[in-house]
């Protein structure tokens, strides 16, 4: 959609006191409610019992409720499994960070008299064999919201339940480290505005526990090198899949710069020539990875970097802190954005907990202010950046957990992590061609509420995604651009769908879809545009790299004024987009959009309206998709001149198919039955044509 309904600020939770959390855990037995307190109803342990702590994205001993509870057992085996299904999804930067973090975790556990068992293989097989070997009675692991991790955990539990041992199946216990002691996630308000009114106290982090000494004679394994793991990952990835995954390695900006250089006859040897050689070695005393701006290493390294970050205004003579300050300045592309750039990856791998960041930030703020916290905000911008980031991440983690565990009608909600941020999506269908639905600005995957299941039927598989910054997906402090959203959709196709797709996009979602078709055509079977944003420019022949986006004072103020206007006028704005069937702009749709407008970080998304770059026209982006583009146009669109748009597009794009319907800017939601039928017919046609071409080629080759 062309509308957006986006919070002016993310208020602090109650800071009156930090409360120590109880150690209550959630077992794998069937539950009617879901606890998100940092624990799991785990009574005193048997003196002869053996506990396994399965590490995943919690690579620390500090503020680790699972380790605290497991330490009460006579025997404790911390375990990390290098599973190729996980490794294949990590970027090179995350891959490097993982190796450093696991190495440090093993050292930290040894310093406590324990150790870290290292295994390479499938987690479910490794854990099953380990349980049999050591007769484990309890498995502790962190609660996950991401679909792939949650599915892996279910596979492990199923394997353990089927295990035939004298002692019976071990107890499978999950834990988390939330800010707040919420007894039942189902009681969580869906609106952040209502959530803030609860003024829940923040739970304080836990110190590392005293661990039982190693008494068992078992093989702990050795930490593989980065090169060993890369070889392992590559051996298990077949060539077609490897080529598909490699598409992610080239950014949209790189493609545009190369196209611009070619058009100007400035051909360079390699786009990667500007990159530093990757020698996989960290600079002496550096807290950063060899590439990028991510803080790397173990918990102590990250805490040291955090201390330097918070104290930016104080200056320093320490080399390592000066490096942090230098990286901070480079990453501060907008106010507060540097925190996620420097610490986002470490938080994602759980090298440090969100609670620990919050605690250290508040402690430093009190030090600056003689033990007091001002009700008017923080005295240092770095404190505000750190607190806002982890509080925001906590909210979206709770939203993701609630969405995953609470059934939502006919649609199955799943969570995918992109660049460290939580993205919601749904999927329907079990066989047939893959179809991906992309919403417009201000909307979410539910805008396809009456399309997903109907298009899937029993002959297609349909995915619908909520893009970063919208709906119930995360809204981080980043600069939002059309290229960023296009890269997100590209990565979703590669990592989640895993094959070529028919891409469907409405409004700005249509422009994102066109970018993918133009820059990464190997991912696309066909393109379906629903009242797409974008222009048609006759004779356009060359792409240019995207301009740098800056948030000026005028943009900052304009976004906040616009947000207030949209909140007050949302109903009338949306109804105008449904001129033929205004009843479809119902209370549910309005409430969903209004609720999202109060989420932390939404105003940053709204700022992007003032810097959108639609300079690459649709006719250029779609020129390689001849006879594979369908345009479904609502002819009563109040936002654009549909008649002129179709005339220009038909004239400039060879072989496109157009369908005119009586609808406004959102034809798929205003007239879902008609649009669904058109899309179904189109997919059948494209698939039949593709099959005929394939048969023809095989016949010719033989």
pLDDT in tens, 64-90: 999 999 999 999 999 999 998 888 888
For the chain, what is the mean pLDDT? Answer: 86
Shared domain for 45 and 147, answered yes or no, is yes
Q: What is the pLDDT of residue 225?
A: 86
* 145, 177, 203 - which closes a domain: 203
- 508-519 vs 482-492: helix crossing angle, rounded to 10: 70
Evaluated on CA atoms 657, 660, 661, 664, the torsion sign reads positive
Q: What is the pLDDT of residue 134?
A: 92
Residues 6+ apart with CB under 8 A from 166: none
Residues 6+ apart with CB under 8 A from 563: 5, 6, 8, 597, 602, 603, 606
| 135: exposed, middle or buried (Cβ count in 10 Å: 0-12, 13-18, 19+) | middle
Residue 594 lies in a domain: no
Interior/surface letters 325-342, b for 16+ CB within 10 angstroms, e for the rest? bebbeeebebebbbbbbb
Q: What is the pLDDT of residue 302?
A: 96
Q: Furthest-apart CA pair in the chain: how many Å? A: 83
**Chain-centroid distance, C-alpha 170:** 32
Q: What is the pLDDT of residue 354?
A: 96
Q: Which of 250-259, 517-526, 617-626 has the lowest mean pLDDT?
A: 250-259
Shared domain for 476 and 539, answered yes or no, is yes
What is d(CA 394, CA 196) in angstroms, rounded to the nearest whole number? Answer: 13
User: For the residues 512-531, what does the mean pLDDT come to?
Assistant: 97
Look at the block and give the residue holding tokens 């609720």.
Answer: 595
Each residue's pLDDT tens digit, 547-601: 667 778 888 899 999 999 999 999 999 999 999 999 999 999 999 999 999 999 9
Number of residues that this document lists for the chain:
702
Between strands 461-465 and 434-438, the pairing is parallel
Residues 6+ apart with CB under 8 A from 59: 80, 98, 101, 102, 104, 105, 298, 349, 350, 351
| 1: exposed, middle or buried (Cβ count in 10 Å: 0-12, 13-18, 19+) | buried
Decide: helix, strand or coil at residue 682.
Answer: helix
Residue 242 lies in a domain: no
Residues 6+ apart with CB under 8 A from 244: 494, 498, 499, 522
Q: What is the pLDDT of residue 43?
A: 47
User: For the residues 676-681, what does the mean pLDDT come to?
Assistant: 98
Shared domain for 390 and 414, answered yes or no, is no
User: For the residues 526-540, what does the mean pLDDT come to?
Assistant: 94
Shared domain for 63 and 120, answered yes or no, is yes
Q: Is the pLDDT of residue 638 over 90?
A: yes
Shared domain for 514 and 430, answered yes or no, is yes
Residue 365 lies in a domain: yes
Residues 6+ apart with CB under 8 A from 238: none
Phi, psi angles (nearest 5°) of residue 271: -65, -25
CATH number for position 657: 3.40.50.1820
Residue 554 lies in a domain: no
Instruction: Give the residue, 386 or 369, on which the prediction is more confident.
Output: 386
Could you tell me if 618 and 644 are in contact, meaning their C-beta atoms sit under 8 angstroms apart? no
Q: Is the pLDDT of residue 202 over 80?
A: yes
Could you tell me if 685 and 657 are in contact, meaning their C-beta atoms sit under 8 angstroms apart? no
Shared domain for 129 and 83, answered yes or no, is yes
Residue 345 lies in a domain: yes
What is d(CA 148, CA 417) in angstroms, rounded to the nearest whole number? Answer: 10
Interior/surface letters 154-174, b for 16+ CB within 10 angstroms, e for the rest? eebbebbeeeeeeeebbbbbb
Shared domain for 29 and 138, answered yes or no, is yes
Cα angle 196, 198, 202; round to 5: 85
pTM of the shown model: 0.89
Residues 6+ apart with CB under 8 A from 81: 54, 119, 120, 121, 122, 123, 126, 127
Q: Is the pLDDT of residue 475 over 90?
A: yes
Q: What is the pLDDT of residue 15?
A: 39
* 365, 395, 425 - which closes a domain: 395
What is d(CA 685, CA 702) in angstroms, rounded to the nearest whole number? Answer: 26
Q: Is the pLDDT of residue 188 over 80?
A: yes
| 535: exposed, middle or buried (Cβ count in 10 Å: 0-12, 13-18, 19+) | middle
- The CA-atom distances, in angstroms, between 530 and each of 508, 661, 667 are 10, 11, 7
Q: Is the pLDDT of residue 695 over 70?
A: no
What is d(CA 48, CA 509) in angstroms, rounded to the nearest whole number? Answer: 58
What is d(CA 446, CA 450) in angstroms, rounded to the nearest whole number? Answer: 9
Listed in sequence order, the DSSP H helices in 420-551 are 452-456, 482-492, 508-519
* Residue 435 in tokens: 């179809």
Q: What is the pLDDT of residue 293?
A: 86
Q: Report the chain's terminal Cα–Cα distance, integer Å.
A: 49
Could you tell me if 87 and 56 are in contact, meaning their C-beta atoms sit under 8 angstroms apart? no
* Other Cβ atoms closer than 10 A to 399: 24
Q: What is the pLDDT of residue 4?
A: 32
Q: Is the pLDDT of residue 421 over 50?
A: yes
Residue 659 lies in a domain: yes
* DSSP 8-state symbol, 660: E
* Other Cβ atoms closer than 10 A to 314: 11
Domain that holds residue 434: 408-546+614-685
Q: What is the pLDDT of residue 35?
A: 43
Q: Which of 32-41, 349-358, 545-554 has the lowest mean pLDDT?
A: 32-41
User: For the residues 675-680, what does the mean pLDDT come to?
Assistant: 98
Q: Is the pLDDT of residue 450 over 90?
A: yes
Q: What percent of the chain has pLDDT over 70?
A: 84
* DSSP 8-state symbol, 495: I
Phi, psi angles (nearest 5°) of residue 391: -65, -40
Look at the block and give the residue holding tokens 């592309």.
Answer: 333
What is d(CA 400, CA 674) in angstroms, rounded to the nearest whole number? Answer: 33
Could you tell me if 607 and 551 are in contact, meaning their C-beta atoms sit under 8 angstroms apart? yes
Q: What is the pLDDT of residue 153?
A: 95
Residue 444 lies in a domain: yes
Shared domain for 391 and 506, answered yes or no, is no
* DSSP 8-state symbol, 411: B
Shared domain for 415 and 389, answered yes or no, is no
Rounded to a whole number of angstroms, the CA Rg of the chain reads 26
Residue 467: which of 476, 456, 458 has the closest Cα? 476
Residue 130: which of 46, 49, 48, 220 has the closest Cα? 220
Could you tell me if 424 and 471 are in contact, meaning their C-beta atoms sit under 8 angstroms apart? yes
* Residue 310 in tokens: 């918070």
Q: Is the pLDDT of residue 29 over 80?
A: no
Phi, psi angles (nearest 5°) of residue 256: -65, -40
Q: What is the pLDDT of residue 409?
A: 62
Encode 425-442 in three state secondary structure. Answer: EEEECCCCCEEEEECCCC
Residue 597: which of 8, 2, 1, 56 has the closest Cα? 8
User: For the residues 176-201, what does the mean pLDDT come to?
Assistant: 89
Shared domain for 359 and 436, answered yes or no, is no
CATH number for position 128: 3.40.50.620
Per the structure, the count of domains in the chain is 3
Phi, psi angles (nearest 5°) of residue 50: -125, 125
Q: Is the pLDDT of residue 26 over 70?
A: no
User: For the residues 445-464, what does the mean pLDDT come to?
Assistant: 96
What is d(CA 534, CA 157) in angstroms, rounded to the nearest whole number? Answer: 49
Each residue's pLDDT tens digit, 238-294: 545 567 778 888 888 888 888 777 666 654 444 443 333 444 445 567 888 877 789
Shared domain for 145 and 48, answered yes or no, is yes
Evaluated on CA atoms 315, 320, 322, 323, the torsion sign reads negative
For the chain, count helices (H), then strands (E). Answer: 24, 16
Shared domain for 350 and 465, answered yes or no, is no
The neighbouring-strand residues paired with 423 are 416
Q: What is the pLDDT of residue 551?
A: 77
- In 258-400 the beta strands, taken as DSSP E runs, fall at none
3-state helix, strand, coil in the chain (%, to 5): 45, 15, 40
Q: What is the pLDDT of residue 186?
A: 84
- The CA-atom distances, in angstroms, between 550 and each of 253, 320, 334, 491, 611 are 17, 29, 8, 25, 8
Residue 55 lies in a domain: yes
What is d(CA 169, CA 159) in angstroms, rounded to the nearest whole number? Answer: 10
* 203, 237, 261 - which closes a domain: 203
């Amino acid at each position: 959609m062309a509308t957006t309904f986006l919070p002016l600020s993310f208020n602090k939770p109650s800071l009156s006191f930090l409360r120590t959390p109880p150690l209550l855990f959630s077992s794998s037995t069937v539950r009617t409610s879901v606890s998100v307190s940092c624990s799991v109803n785990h009574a005193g342990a048997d003196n002869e019992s053996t506990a396994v702590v399965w590490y995943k994205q919690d690579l620390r001993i500090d503020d680790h409720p699972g380790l605290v509870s497991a330490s009460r057992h006579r025997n404790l085996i911390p375990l990390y499994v290098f599973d190729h299904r996980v490794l294949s999804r990590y970027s090179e930067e995350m891959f490097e960070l993982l190796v450093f973090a696991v190495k440090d975790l093993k050292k930290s556990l040894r310093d406590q008299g324990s150790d870290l068992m290292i295994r390479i293989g499938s987690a479910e097989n490794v854990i099953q064999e380990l349980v049999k070997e050591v007769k484990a009675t309890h498995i502790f692991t962190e609660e996950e919201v991401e679909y792939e991790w949650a599915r892996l955990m279910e596979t492990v539990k199923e394997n353990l339940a089927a295990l035939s041992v004298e002692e019976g199946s071990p107890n499978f216990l999950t834990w988390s480290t939330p800010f707040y002691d919420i007894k039942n996630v189902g009681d969580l308000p869906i609106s952040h505005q209502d959530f803030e009114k609860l003024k829940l106290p923040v739970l304080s982090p836990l110190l590392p526990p005293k661990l039982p000494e190693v008494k068992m004679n078992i093989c702990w394994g050795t930490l593989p090198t980065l090169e060993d793991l890369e070889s392992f990952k590559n051996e298990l990835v077949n060539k077609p899949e490897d080529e598909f995954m490699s598409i992610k390695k080239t950014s949209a900006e790189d493609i545009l710069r190369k196209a611009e250089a070619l058009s100007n006859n400035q051909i360079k040897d390699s786009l990667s020539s500007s990159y530093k050689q990757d020698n996989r070695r960290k600079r002496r005393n550096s807290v950063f990875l060899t590439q990028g701006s991510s803080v790397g290493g173990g918990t102590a390294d990250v805490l040291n970097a955090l201390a330097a970050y918070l104290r930016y205004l104080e200056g320093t003579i320490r080399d390592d802190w000066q490096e942090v300050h230098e990286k901070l300045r480079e990453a501060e592309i907008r106010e507060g954005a540097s925190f996620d750039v420097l610490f986002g990856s470490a938080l994602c791998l759980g090298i440090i907990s969100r609670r620990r960041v919050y605690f250290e930030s508040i402690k430093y703020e009190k030090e600056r202010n003689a033990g007091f916290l001002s009700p008017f905000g923080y005295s240092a911008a770095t404190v505000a950046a750190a607190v806002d980031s982890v509080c925001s991440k906590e909210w979206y983690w709770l939203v993701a957990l609630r969405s995953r565990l609470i059934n939502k009608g006919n649609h199955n909600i799943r969570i995918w992590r992109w660049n460290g941020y939580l993205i919601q999506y749904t999927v329907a269908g079990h066989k047939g061609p893959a179809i991906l639905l992309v919403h417009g600005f201000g909307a979410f995957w539910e805008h396809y509420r009456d399309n997903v299941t109907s298009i899937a039927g029993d002959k297609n598989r349909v995915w619908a995604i909520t893009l970063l910054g919208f709906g119930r997906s995360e809204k981080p402090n980043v600069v939002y651009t059309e290229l960023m959203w296009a890269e997100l959709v590209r990565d979703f196709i590669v990592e989640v769908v895993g094959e070529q797709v028919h891409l469907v996009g409405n409004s700005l979602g249509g422009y994102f879809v066109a970018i993918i078709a133009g820059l990464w055509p190997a991912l696309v079977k066909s393109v379906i545009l629903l009242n797409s944003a974008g222009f048609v420019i006759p004779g356009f022949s060359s792409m240019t790299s995207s301009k740098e986006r800056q948030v000026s004072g005028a943009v900052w103020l304009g976004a906040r004024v616009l947000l207030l206007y949209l909140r007050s006028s949302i109903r009338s704005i949306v109804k105008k987009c449904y001129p033929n069937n205004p009843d479809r702009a119902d209370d549910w749709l309005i409430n969903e959009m209004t609720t999202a407008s109060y989420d932390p970080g939404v105003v940053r998304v709204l700022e992007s309206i003032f810097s959108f770059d639609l300079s690459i026209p649709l006719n250029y982006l779609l020129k390689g998709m001849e006879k594979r583009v369908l345009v479904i146009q609502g002819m009563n669109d109040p936002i654009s001149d549909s008649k002129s748009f179709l005339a220009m597009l038909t004239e400039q794009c060879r072989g496109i198919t157009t369908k005119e319907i009586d609808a406004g800017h959102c034809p798929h939601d205003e007239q879902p039955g008609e649009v669904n039928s058109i899309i179904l017919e189109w997919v059948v046609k494209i698939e039949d044509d593709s099959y005929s071409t394939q048969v023809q080629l095989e016949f010719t080759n033989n």
